[in-house]
């Protein structure tokens, strides 16, 4: 399948090297703009909601403090309670329907601002400047919000895309190796979901990044990832069919996050989840290629997998609570023998869950032992 390593110049009919492209949405098309600078945003009269971790960046230092709201980029920020605080703050500042918001941060700030922009005065425009690699390569498009309620992560949400997404490599300079690896795991997941040729395109760019690591090499990976994710979003905007394939690795990844008491960052957990999913299917040369590349990303992150303490019964308990379960069935995303991902509905039998927990333990011990 992988003969002839092709780096497509066009994906989904659009040039791959462009600095702008459009995402079609029933709620209004929106633009992704890469490496164009952010001067026009500074000059706008928007209210900026910024992750305080990037408050010393050159861009944020130029924002008029009267138009700046600093927030923590964390799970505690994307809560219903904090949304209410932010909405009240916007009202106190006199924000009205002629105003707009600019969110600057990772996926946490994105989730918060997506929901707040969508409901404030029944919706005001917003722009997103992603600052983590995961957000640049994956979450910034698609328009979803996901808000935590009590102990329930991502329980409520909606779809409300920004008017534009502005990706700038400067923000990558302060991210550590774990943050980069989280984005790489999500990016390779998108490519695998689309098919073997797209996986090869990722493999090529990842090899280039490994030989010459740089923020600009990461931006090329983000660009490829977004152009391919665009196909899923446009064909299935509201997550009914094709877009569900982007949940590859997520059933096991989420269960690992819960069973380890959030001891592993989400992107890395997804990478581990992909390895677990692959160990449940017939091994082929393609599956081995995916495993080698994913393992390489996980190990290059420098994350200490031996620090993870996961009990099989906690993992199984979390699997039983997976939001994708349907009645007494698990809905898994698994590779078929043609190298395509497909939904696989399996009865939630003890022997299946034990096999999955066993597979997780084997994957974790291979990562600890490397």
Ligand X SMILES: NC(=O)c1ccc[n+]([C@@H]2O[C@H](COP(=O)([O-])OP(=O)(O)OC[C@H]3O[C@@H](n4cnc5c(N)ncnc54)[C@H](O)[C@@H]3O)[C@@H](O)[C@H]2O)c1
Q: From residue 252 to residue 291, what is the string marking binding to ligand X with x (rule CB under 6 A)?
A: --------------x-------------------------
* Helix (H) or strand (E) segment spanning residue 218: helix 215-235
34 bridge partner residues: 167
Q: Which residues contact 168 (CB under 8 A, 6 or more apart)?
A: 35, 37, 38, 59, 129
What is the per-residue binding string for ligand X in 189-218, x denoting contact by CB under 6 A? ------------------------------
The residue range among 12-20, 79-87, 106-114, 299-307 that interacts with ligand X, by the rule CB under 6 A, is 106-114
Long-range contacts of 337-345 (CB under 8 A, 24+ apart): 337/282, 337/284, 338/1, 339/1, 339/195, 339/196, 339/284, 339/286, 339/287, 340/195, 341/192, 341/193, 341/245, 341/248, 342/245, 343/244, 343/245
Least spacing, CB of residue 201 vs ligand X, in Å: 22
Among 46, 99, 100, 108, binds ligand X (CB under 6 A): 108
Contact string 78-97 vs ligand X (x = CB under 6 A)? x-------------------
Q: Which stretch binds ligand X (CB under 6 A): 107-115, 160-168, 219-227, 321-329?
A: 107-115
CB of residue 13 vs ligand X: minimum separation in angstroms?
Answer: 24
Q: How many residues does the chain have?
A: 370
The token duo for 294 is 């994913």
CB of 181 to ligand X, least distance (A): 11
DSSP code, position 46: P
Query: Residue of minimal CB distance from ligand X?
Result: 107
Cβ distance to ligand X smaller for residue 112 or 357: 112
Minimal CA–CA distance to 100: which of 64, 47, 51, 166?
47
Give 344: exposed, middle or buried? Use CB within 10 Å, 0-12, 13-18, 19+.
middle
> Which range binds ligand X by CB under 6 A, 15-23, 72-80, 344-352, 357-365?
72-80
Question: Is 315 strand, coil or helix?
Answer: helix
Q: Return the residue of 132, 191, 279, 330 that touches ligand X, per CB under 6 A.
A: 132
Which of 142, 162, 249, 253 binds ligand X (CB under 6 A)? It is 142
Dihedral of CA atoms 133, 138, 141, 145 in degrees, nearest 10, equals: -90
Residues 6+ apart with CB under 8 A from 213: none
Among 14, 31, 35, 154, binds ligand X (CB under 6 A): 154
Shortest CB 329 distance to ligand X, Å: 24
Which run of H or E residues covers position 128?
strand 126-130
Nearest distance from C-beta of residue 268 to ligand X, angstroms: 10
Other C-beta atoms closer than 10 Å to the C-beta of 250 total 23
Our CB check for ligand X shows the closer of 90 and 134 to be 134
CA distance 70 to 243: 33
In this chain, which of 73, 161, 162, 249 binds ligand X, going by CB under 6 A? 73
Least gap, CB of 130 to ligand X (angstroms): 7
# chain residues binding ligand X, by CB under 6 A: 29
Q: Kindly tell me which residue out of 90, 112, 134, 233 binds ligand X, with binding defined by CB under 6 A.
A: 134
30 sits near ligand X (criterion: CB under 6 A): no
Gyration radius of the chain over CA positions: 20
State which residue, 74 or 284, has the beta carbon closest to ligand X.
74
| Rounded distance between C-alpha atoms, residue 43 and residue 64, angstroms | 9
In the complex, the smallest distance separating the C-beta of residue 279 from ligand X, rounded to whole angstroms, is 24
* 184 touching ligand X, by CB under 6 A: no
Q: Does residue number 171 form part of the binding site for ligand X (CB under 6 A)?
A: yes
**Contacting residues toward ligand X, per CB under 6 A:** 51, 53-54, 73-75, 78, 105-111, 131-132, 134-135, 139, 142, 144-146, 154, 171, 174-175, 182, 266
């Amino acid at each position: 399948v992988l003969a002839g390593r092709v780096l497509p110049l066009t994906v989904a009919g659009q040039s791959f090297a462009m600095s702008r492209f459009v995402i079609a949405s029933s709620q209004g098309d929106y633009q992704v703009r890469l490496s164009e600078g952010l001067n026009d945003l500074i000059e706008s009269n928007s209210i900026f909601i910024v992750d305080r971790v990037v408050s010393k960046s050159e861009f944020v230092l130029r924002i008029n403090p009267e138009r700046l709201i600093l927030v923590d980029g964390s799970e505690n920020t994307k809560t219903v309670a904090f949304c209410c605080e932010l909405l009240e703050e916007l009202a106190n500042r006199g924000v009205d329907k002629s105003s707009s918001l600019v969110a600057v941060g990772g996926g946490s700030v994105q989730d918060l601002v997506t929901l707040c922009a969508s409901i404030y005065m029944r919706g005001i425009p917003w722009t997103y400047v992603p600052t983590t690699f995961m957000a640049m390569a994956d979450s910034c498009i698609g328009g979803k919000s996901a808000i935590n309620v009590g102990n329930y992560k991502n329980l409520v949400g909606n779809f409300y895309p920004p008017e534009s997404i502005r990706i700038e490599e400067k923000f990558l300079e302060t991210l550590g190796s774990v943050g980069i690896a989280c984005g790489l795991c999500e990016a390779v997941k998108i490519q695998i979901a689309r098919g073997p040729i797209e996986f090869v395109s990722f493999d090529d760019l990842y090899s280039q990044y490994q030989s010459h690591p740089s923020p600009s090499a990461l931006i090329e990976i983000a660009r490829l990832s977004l152009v391919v994710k665009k196909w899923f979003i446009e064909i299935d905007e509201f997550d009914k069919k094709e877009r569900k394939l982007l949940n590859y690795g997520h059933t096991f990844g989420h269960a690992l996050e819960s069973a380890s008491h959030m001891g592993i960052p989400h992107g890395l957990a997804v990478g581990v989840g992909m390895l677990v999913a692959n160990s449940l299917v017939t091994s082929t040369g393609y599956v081995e290629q995916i495993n080698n590349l994913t393992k390489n990303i996980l190990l290059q992150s420098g994350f200490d997998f031996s620090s993870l303490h996961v009990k099989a019964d906690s993992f199984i308990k979390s699997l039983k609570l997976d939001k994708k379960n349907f009645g007494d069935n698990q809905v898994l995303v698994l590779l078929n023998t043609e190298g395509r991902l497909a939904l696989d509905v399996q009865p939630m039998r003890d022997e299946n869950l034990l096999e999955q927990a066993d597979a997780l333990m084997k994957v974790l011990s291979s990562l600890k032992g490397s």
